Amino acid sequence: MSRTYFGTDGIRGTVGQLPITPDFMLRLGHAVGRVLRRSGVRPSVLIGKDTRISGYMLESSLEAGFASAGVDVLLSGPLPTPGVAYLTRALRLDLGVVISASHNAFADNGVKFFSSRGEKLPDEWEQEVEGSLEQQPQWVDSASLGKARRLTDASGRYIEFCKSTVPHTLSLRGMKIVVDAAHGAAYHVAPDVFHELGATVVKIGCEPDGVNINAGFGATSPQALVNAVKEHRADYGIALDGDADRLQVVDAQGRLFNGDELLYVLAADRLSLRQPVPGVVGTLMTNMAVEQALQRRNVPMVRAKVGDRYVLEELTARGWQLGGEGSGHLLALDRHTTGDGIVSALQILFAIHRSGKTLAALLEDVTLFPQTLLNVRLREGSDWKNNPALESARQSAERELADRGRVLIRASGTEPVLRVMVEARDAALGRACAERMAAAAAAG
């Protein structure tokens, strides 16, 4: 059964256009509430949000929808997505709801859900909700309406949880850290976590006004962090995205470390502690240098489809703990049930603290392969999978690259574009291979 509204990470779109409208959100809250009521008990849900101005409107609509179905609601106000996941589990609630469009600009917004265990819900649940949306509403009577209240200590509870994910021996005293919250959901949480662990904290991207989320700050715009680390002569910089589930790190020299490199550090740190690392999950885009570095340490890496949801599915299926992607979505399932930028940053800082090495030194065995990514606009009706010239060029490139690189060809899921990516130790060789395949695809 196909889904009409749910995508790979909840429901997302432009505010004021279906489905990101107040009337649809009321219907959605009611539909989800009816699904929850099928368990036979009176459900309770938590609604958190990021700092977008549209969050007020969507929060009110969802609250009304849940109440109309007889579901009680807790409202946390602005809180990182992983904070909602944690509190849903800690408070034994039935569902966590996050109003956010993550790294998108303020004009977008969306909704995603977490189970009572703080985990993302399966496709089957989303299909059940979409089925409920197609049905006529069944308003409960006045005596059965849901109640709503504010959870006034949500941020404090989440701060303590973040701190609990590292040993009590970790102190950040003597370390200066720049924290960039992208004017998003972690603006009032992330600086306090690092400060309470002893660091001197410089805050940037912590002044949300409803329309500046992700604008020139955060994990998707890391140059602001690079500049601030240099200006304040900080030891490290931490950049989160709008809902704080992504992480990028900058060192004192202004070097930016992406999610692929940070994933390797997480695995290597556990190995140094003689903890088991049966395998790591990356994505189709994870840099080959990381895969080879893990293999040298006898740690296999499996590639999932692009998207943290698919990384999580693969980890769960294999019973592994560590996964992530270059964008900075990192999963450490022995610390949290979902990707968490603050928790991931603490794991990296603990690795630095415990080893006595810099982050660059921890990655001295990993030199990322240069990547060439070309987008080829396809002709209408073209079948790239059965293009003999493209297949011949691909096979030729793979022979030429051997174990010095790799090829990835995939269609965009949002536009008629073929993405041709080549990763190679030799950047010039990689670009030449990519250009030959792109030309064959364009001619097909």
The pLDDT tens digits of the residues spanning 380-406 come to: 778 899 999 999 999 999 999 998 999
The pLDDT, as a whole number, for residue 381 is 75
What's the CA gap between 304 and 324, in Å, rounded? 10
pLDDT digits (tens, 9 = 90+) for 225-267: 999 999 999 999 999 999 999 999 999 999 999 999 999 999 9
The pLDDT, as a whole number, for residue 414 is 63
Inform me whether the pLDDT recorded for 1 exceeds 60: no
Tell me the two tokens of residue 4.
């009409």
The mean per-residue pLDDT over the stretch 193-197 comes to 98
Task: Work out the pLDDT band at 423, boundaries 50, 70, 90.
Answer: very high
Give the Cα-Cα-Cα angle 59, 10, 325 (nearest 5 degrees).
125
Q: Is 171 considered catalytic here?
A: no
The pLDDT, as a whole number, for residue 131 is 96
The mean per-residue pLDDT over the stretch 344-366 comes to 96
Which residues belong to CATH 3.30.310.50 in the chain?
Answer: 371-443
Residue 235 carries which DSSP code? S
Inform me whether the pLDDT recorded for 2 exceeds 70: no
Inform me whether the pLDDT recorded for 162 exceeds 60: yes
The mean per-residue pLDDT over the stretch 294-302 comes to 97
Which residues belong to CATH 3.40.120.10 in the chain?
Answer: 11-152, 157-255, 257-362
Choose the weakest-confidence range: 12-16, 323-327, 388-392, 440-444. 440-444
Crossing angle (nearest 10°) for helices 259-272 and 341-355: 50
Average pLDDT of the chain, as a whole number: 95
Task: Work out the pLDDT band at 169, boundaries 50, 70, 90.
Answer: confident
Topology adopted by domain 371-443: TATA-Binding Protein (3.30.310)
- Write down the CATH number for the domain with range 257-362: 3.40.120.10
Task: Work out the pLDDT band at 55, boundaries 50, 70, 90.
Answer: very high
The mean per-residue pLDDT over the stretch 17-38 comes to 97
What homologous superfamily is domain 11-152 in, according to CATH?
Alpha-D-Glucose-1,6-Bisphosphate, subunit A, domain 3 (3.40.120.10)
pLDDT digits (tens, 9 = 90+) for 75-92: 999 999 999 999 999 999
Q: Tell me which residue of 39, 45, 58, 33 sits closest to 148, measured CA to CA.
A: 45
Inform me whether the pLDDT recorded for 343 exceeds 90: yes
Catalytic residue among 102, 115, 132, 327: 102
The pLDDT, as a whole number, for residue 326 is 94
Asked if CATH classification 3.40.50.150 holds for the domain at 157-255, the reply, yes or no, is: no
What number of other Cβ atoms are within 10 A of residue 348's Cβ? 22
Inform me whether the pLDDT recorded for 215 exceeds 70: yes
- Which residues are within 8 A (CB) of 118 and not within 5 positions of it... i.e. 6 or more apart? 85, 86, 88, 89, 96, 336, 337, 338
Name the percent of the chain lying above pLDDT 90: 92
Q: Tell me which residue of 315, 335, 316, 336 sits closest to 325, measured CA to CA.
A: 315
pLDDT digits (tens, 9 = 90+) for 307-324: 888 999 999 999 999 999
Calculate the dihedral angle through the C-alpha atoms of 333, 337, 338, 344, rounding to the nearest 10 degrees: -50
Phi, psi for 48 (deg, rounded to 5): -120, 170
Count of all residues that appear for the chain in the document: 444
Q: pTM (2 decimals)?
A: 0.93
Inform me whether the pLDDT recorded for 158 exceeds 80: yes
The pLDDT, as a whole number, for residue 411 is 87
Inform me whether the pLDDT recorded for 147 exceeds 60: yes
Inform me whether the pLDDT recorded for 151 exceeds 60: yes
What's the CA gap between 403 and 18, in Å, rounded? 47
